[in-house]
Structure 1
């Protein structure tokens, strides 16, 4: 029968050295003792895992994150292996491990392949973690933007995984020619069926390298104006000033006129005002400059300017130009409000009139038509309707 054979194998197994049979016969002979030993083993495993977590934190502070994570992985693996072996000893089933190991017997070349494959996978994992943490450190120093760091994550991870997969496939003797041919065909199909997505992705890389704006900038793309809250490989997210969140594909951002109000750290604000035709434009310009020069919401350099734009239907049109620092919509609205109020107060003091829209109706040759009849002027002959 199979049981005596397995039992004899287990007795001769290197998994049961001399002390193990004696411990099993002396301290693990009954079910009660086995249950107690299992409970003690569980407590030991939990305590070891807790100690491993503290040990990892100590290593992280002293030697860095990569070494701490690698050490914790090795310790956890050792704890799992020791726990499984101790459990098999407690319940007298070491022959199961022996049988499992015998069925997993492999030659040296296959073992070397497996070891090298594991080493490549571990190296790729550590490289990804190292590069990602390096990118995080660069982002903290503002050497790269948030958008650039996100794109760098994906590019670095894909490159490392692709290189590791190529090395592993070559190690196991898999011909990469057919894989590359299949990948080329799949790429062509994807390029035809997802052209818009690929275009948006390429535009995302263009935005990465050209850097026309940053997260937090105030931009305008066609009819959409607001603050950039996020930039991904495919879309740019803008929060408008009426609290709407708009997602714009990156290809539309690169193909449309783009205005970045935050680029130069200042913005010119223009306010139009009209004065009566009977008022002096030069005096009105001087009054406006004096009224707005001391406002806290605008910059003193460049100084405020007032130009005469032209003739309106009811007024002579003047344009007041002031500059604000660190442009935001709130600062722009505050500056407009302050300038309008200052101009209104100054015009009231100086007696300068801001006329209402009006039209003046006059007749030619002093002739007016009233009630279907024409009144005569001094030199106008009577004319029937």
Structure 2
């Protein structure tokens, strides 16, 4: 039977080298010997699995997790292949493997296509790993923000995968014209039905390259003030000082005035105070400057300034301007509170009045005027007092 199969399947001789037939005739000719040999192979399998785990641990310590997983898979595949071959030798059915390999034989062009395809996939995978590691290194040097890193990951990965897919489709003779036409039609439909989403996405890329703020900055946009907690392709997440989490579409961020209070290392705080019209304004200004000049919450340079701002209904309004460093909302509120308390104490000591809103009513000096009209006596109408 083996002679007949050898003439039909030429791979049989390579699967049964010279020692194999002798081992089969000498030690594996009986059913009992075949059962014992099978049990021995089954008993050796756990040892091989432990060896694969040990190899993975060693490679992981030296070369990283991904290479360790690849090494473990390679060892396990080798163990499985050797086990299958051992069973086929023990039970003298190596011709089954010959039939399998015979059906797997392909021509040179198909083999070349497969090899090139595998090479393209491997190169694309290595390129993605290299680019992602480069982005991580840039992020560690603060050259890229977290938002920029995430966007760069997705853009580069999609670009590499798209390029590799185009190469593979061209290699296997698939016409890309119809694909591009279909993709264009789909893009047009998506652009019409999801204009707002696409606009927000484009605005996200604008924020990526312009970098007007970063996570952790104190900003004000579209009447919303707070701390930036996250920035994605589509939205910017802000935590307000009222502990509300607000999601603002990126197109609104780019289309509205944006104030970044954290961009500079200082912030000016203005406090208005009213002074009575009878008080000396020059003296009041110097008292305010002396009162806020020694506060720990404000900076010494620039120096505090006090200007006359406007005439109010019951007071002359003075504006006190001071600066704080490393601006945050807490520092701003603390400085503003300290300024008001210091000004009130200084005004009390100096006898300067902060007037309440009031109106003064005064009678005219002239004798007035008469309202023209019919005489009540002539009309017969008596006054109500009568």
TM-score class, shorter-chain normalisation, is 0.7 to 0.9
CA RMSD, Structure 1 to Structure 2 (Å): 3.0
Aligned to 2:77: 81
**Contact residue 10 and residue 16 of structure 1 kept, 8 A:** no
State which of 47, 50, 62 in structure 2 corresponds to 1:43: 47
Aligned to 1:312: 312
**Contact residue 12 and residue 95 of structure 2 kept, 8 A:** no
Query: 1:330, CA displacement in angstroms?
Result: 0.8
Provide the rounded CA distance (Å) in 1 between the counterparts of 2:245 and 2:364: 59
Query: 1:323, CA displacement in angstroms?
Result: 0.8
Provide the rounded CA distance (Å) in 1 between the counterparts of 2:15 and 2:333: 81
Aligned to 1:223: 223
- Assess, with a 3 A threshold, how the Cα gap between structure 1 residues 168 and 357 changes in structure 2: closer, same or farther: same
**Contact residue 302 and residue 323 of structure 2 kept, 8 A:** yes
CA shift digits 1:19-78 (9 cap, x unpaired): 556388399935566345324312322332332232243135xxxxxxx845852x3443
Provide the rounded CA distance (Å) in 1 between the counterparts of 2:194 and 2:335: 47
Query: 1:9, CA displacement in angstroms?
Result: 6.5
- Assess, with a 3 A threshold, how the Cα gap between structure 1 residues 94 and 366 changes in structure 2: closer, same or farther: farther
CA shift digits 1:218-239 (9 cap, x unpaired): 1111111111111111111111
Aligned to 1:327: 327
Calculate the TM-score normalised by the size of structure 2: 0.84
Aligned to 1:59: 63
Provide the rounded CA distance (Å) in 1 between the counterparts of 2:145 and 2:51: 43
Provide the rounded CA distance (Å) in 2 between the counterparts of 1:366 and 1:338: 51
Aligned to 1:14: 14
Structure 1 stretch displaced more, 128-137 or 268-277? 268-277
CA shift digits 1:236-263 (9 cap, x unpaired): 1111111111111111111111111112
Query: 1:87, CA displacement in angstroms?
Result: 2.5
Question: Where do residues 1-385 of structure 1 align in structure 2 (5 Å cutoff)?
Answer: 12=12, 14-19=14-19, 22=23, 25=28, 29=33, 31=35, 34-35=38-39, 37-60=41-64, 69=66, 73=70, 75-92=71-88, 95-365=95-365
Aligned to 2:378: none
Query: 1:361, CA displacement in angstroms?
Result: 2.8
- Assess, with a 3 A threshold, how the Cα gap between structure 1 residues 19 and 325 changes in structure 2: closer, same or farther: farther
Query: 1:198, CA displacement in angstroms?
Result: 0.9
Provide the rounded CA distance (Å) in 2 between the counterparts of 1:297 and 1:126: 54
Give the unaligned 5+ runs of structure 1.
61-67, 368-383
Give the unaligned 5+ runs of structure 2.
368-383
**Number of positions where the alignment pairs a residue of Structure 1 with one of Structure 2:** 359
**Contact residue 292 and residue 304 of structure 1 kept, 8 A:** yes
Query: 1:192, CA displacement in angstroms?
Result: 1.0
